[in-house]
Amino acid sequence: MKKLLIGFLLLFFALCVWLFGFGGCIPWTYRREPVKQETIAERKNLQGETIQKLTRERAFSSMDALITPDGPRKVWGIPYCKYFLEADGKPKRELPFLSFDKYNEPLDYRPVEQTSLWIGTDSSSIHDYDLFLVVFDEKRLLIKRTFKLNTNKFIQKRYQANELHFMDGNHTIIFSTLEGIKKYDVLNNTVTDADQMRDEWK
């Protein structure tokens, strides 16, 4: 009887170690959904025809977890996420430097008109309400920057400063910081004062 009890305790201990080793998850409940493709943004010519698309392929996975702060539940992951540029007559080109952006709502991607560049921006809670931006082409990530936004609720309401203003074919971004209204030049990667633009936001 004593040996049986010891054996049971050892088995229970081994089970606990095994569960904690997998973060409380049960490996045989692992499921992976099929890969889904979505179009994130498009570049158009002067006739309004799509000449290039930015697409994303993702697959979700799930696993049952017995030990979480909220009790037993299903946990989700994204084991596969890839971005591509697609254009008629050209092979699909993967953009591995964008694989970090795998959230449900991707960055706000826009083509920089009359160039081969793209810009992606985000000012949500994912980046602590700072302005996070990337600039890239089909070959590499060129710029990655973060700006501290003005979170004063009165100023946001008065000047719509919680919004980003894209101008000049996405060559320019206007946004509000604690130091005032700023203008970001995408091509030159420079920031200048733009307080004179407050009147346009009234």
Backbone phi and psi for residue 180, each to the nearest 5 degrees, phi listed first: 120, -175
Q: pLDDT digits over 33-72, tens only?
A: 787 888 999 999 988 899 999 999 887 776 667 655 666 6
In terms of Cβ atoms closer than 10 Å to its own Cβ (0-12, 13-18, 19+), residue 11 is exposed
Most confident of 9-13, 175-179, 195-199: 175-179
- pLDDT value, residue 58: 84
Q: pLDDT digits over 2-41, tens only?
A: 555 554 544 544 444 444 444 566 666 767 678 788 899 9
Q: pLDDT digits over 93-111, tens only?
A: 999 999 888 776 678 899 9
Mean pLDDT along residues 119-126: 74
**pLDDT at 154 exceeding the cut of 60:** no
CA–CA dist 35, 84 (Å, integer): 14
Question: What is the residue type of 62?
Answer: S
Instruction: Name 74's bridge partners.
Output: 64
**pLDDT at 81 exceeding the cut of 90:** no
Supply the mean pLDDT for the chain: 76
